[in-house]
Amino acid sequence: MRCGKMAAPPAAGAPGAWGGVRRRCRRLLYWVPVLFISSILCWSYYAYVTQLCLLTMTNIGEKVVCLVAYHIFFMLFVWSYWKTIFTLPMNPSKEFHLSYSDKESLEREPRGESQQEVLRRAAKDLPIYTRTMSGAIRYCDRCHLVKPDRCHHCSVCDKCILKMDHHCPWVNNCVGFSNYKFFLLFLAYSLLYCLFIAATDLQYFIKFWTNGLPDTQAKFHIMFLFFAAAMFSVSLSSLFGYHCWLVSKNKSTLEVFRAPIFRHRTDKNGFSLGFSKNLRQVFGDEKKYWLLPVFSSLGDGCSFPTCLVNQDPEQASTPGGLNATSKSENHLFPAKPLRDSQSHLLTDAPSWPETAAKADKGKVGMSNPALTMENET
């Protein structure tokens, strides 16, 4: 722009214009799986309510019971599916983003000790317990932030997602801290929905199959409805069972394929607190909300309690007199929330309390040389 003249918009055939068109077309294509599931759901409603219950069932009591139960499952299914789709994934809070001066320093300094120092300074007051494979602070150069524990960058959403599990095309959304409970309930209620349809449709499917009922328009709907419900039940049961196992172990899908790396070593069970506590991490403390698609998960998504086994050898002994290097079978919890507790994984000289800084004053030169910036998706 010169002499106060406004810059002209890109021409219709310019590369920038075509790039915008491609992005919009890609966003529309992402909704195709959701529209497919929604169309199957609408057809199943018509087939079950109209063709099976209203036109085929002759017993009034059976008709009323099936309609009432069906609408309960249908409502819970749609509610949890809606919440999974339209709940925005949570991103790291501002404290994890590099300041303007830190970003400038990171871009100006060559890779090496200088960049390590910038990242150490940015992360020293953050509740970070995990590292990259090389022992570096987990840093995202696209979002310009220090990654919280269990946070990953989604290539589809192009942003960092707190406690990311996976990007699900069937909901066109990232499944993470903000909507993992909704996703789990969506799987549960969709499975119950399919099982209920298959169980109540079975006798009429057999009658039509054996020509026990006359050929009508309902025959196709009722027979295909049973096949569809049975097929989805098999696939949903395996997927739901897998995510129930993940919840019981307090793991995400990404952590199954790449175990979290703590300072002492890689620990695939580093966030597991025992079955009961693992369950409450996702569903919360109030059981009245467990079966409803309302947010009740514990924490803020940026910090998580760990079992803290095989702690740093430079830590002080435990209150019971046991050395912290010995492997503990019990799950240890910080006395304060992780946001206020001490992280022994960023530097060898802890910078949290002033007393600890004085006690370790002689260890300033013992920083880990492997603490380099590393991009991780």
Say if residue 348's pLDDT is above 60: no
How many C-beta atoms surround the C-beta of residue 109 within 10 A?
A: 15
**Phi, psi of 213, deg, nearest 5:** -125, 150
Q: What is the pLDDT of residues 207-253, one digit of tens each?
A: 888 887 777 888 899 999 999 999 999 999 999 999 999 999 999 99
Helices 32-45 and 217-249 pack at an angle, to 10 degrees, of 130
Give me the percent of the chain exceeding a pLDDT of 90.
Answer: 55
Q: What is the pLDDT of residues 45-75, one digit of tens each?
A: 999 999 999 999 999 999 999 999 999 999 9
Q: Are 100 and 357 in contact (CB under 8 A)?
A: no
Bigger pLDDT: 292 or 346? 292
Q: What is the pLDDT of residues 129-157, one digit of tens each?
A: 898 888 888 889 899 899 999 999 999 99
Give me the percent of the chain exceeding a pLDDT of 70.
Answer: 75
H or E stretch at 85: helix 60-86
Q: Where are the alpha helices (DSSP H) in 87-179?
A: 100-108, 113-123
Bigger pLDDT: 358 or 59? 59
pLDDT of amino acid 360: 42
Distance CA(65)–CA(69), nearest Å, equals 6
pLDDT of amino acid 61: 95
Handedness of CA 89, 94, 100, 103 (dihedral sign): negative
3-state secondary structure of 269: coil
Distance CA(367)–CA(120), nearest Å, equals 10
Q: What is the pLDDT of residues 243-292, one digit of tens each?
A: 999 999 999 999 999 999 987 788 889 999 999 999 999 999 999 999 99
Say if residue 111's pLDDT is above 80: no
pLDDT of amino acid 327: 36
pLDDT of amino acid 190: 98
Distance CA(36)–CA(44), nearest Å, equals 12
- Report the b/e string of 71-100 with b at 16+ CB within 10 A: eebbebbbbbbebbbebebbbbeeebbbee
pLDDT of amino acid 92: 94
pLDDT of amino acid 10: 54
Say if residue 93's pLDDT is above 70: yes
pLDDT of amino acid 342: 36
**Is residue 168 among the annotated active site residues?**
yes
Ranges of beta strands (E only) in 172-271 are 173-175, 261-262
pLDDT of amino acid 16: 58
Half-sphere exposure of 247 (CA within 13 A, CB side): 21
pLDDT of amino acid 107: 80
119 token code pair: 């990242």
Q: What is the pLDDT of residues 3-27, one digit of tens each?
A: 444 445 555 555 556 767 887 888 8
Say if residue 79's pLDDT is above 70: yes
Q: Which residue is associated with the tokens 């932030």?
A: 145
Say if residue 320's pLDDT is above 70: no
Cα dihedral angle (314, 317, 323, 327), rounded to 10 degrees? -80
pLDDT of amino acid 5: 47
Handedness of CA 258, 262, 267, 269 (dihedral sign): negative
Q: What is the pLDDT of residues 164-208, one digit of tens each?
A: 999 999 999 999 999 999 999 999 999 999 999 999 999 999 988
pTM more than 0.85:
no
Q: Which residues pair with 166 in a beta bridge?
A: 175
Name the catalytic one among 140, 143, 168, 194. Answer: 168
138-140 and 374-375: which strand pairing? parallel
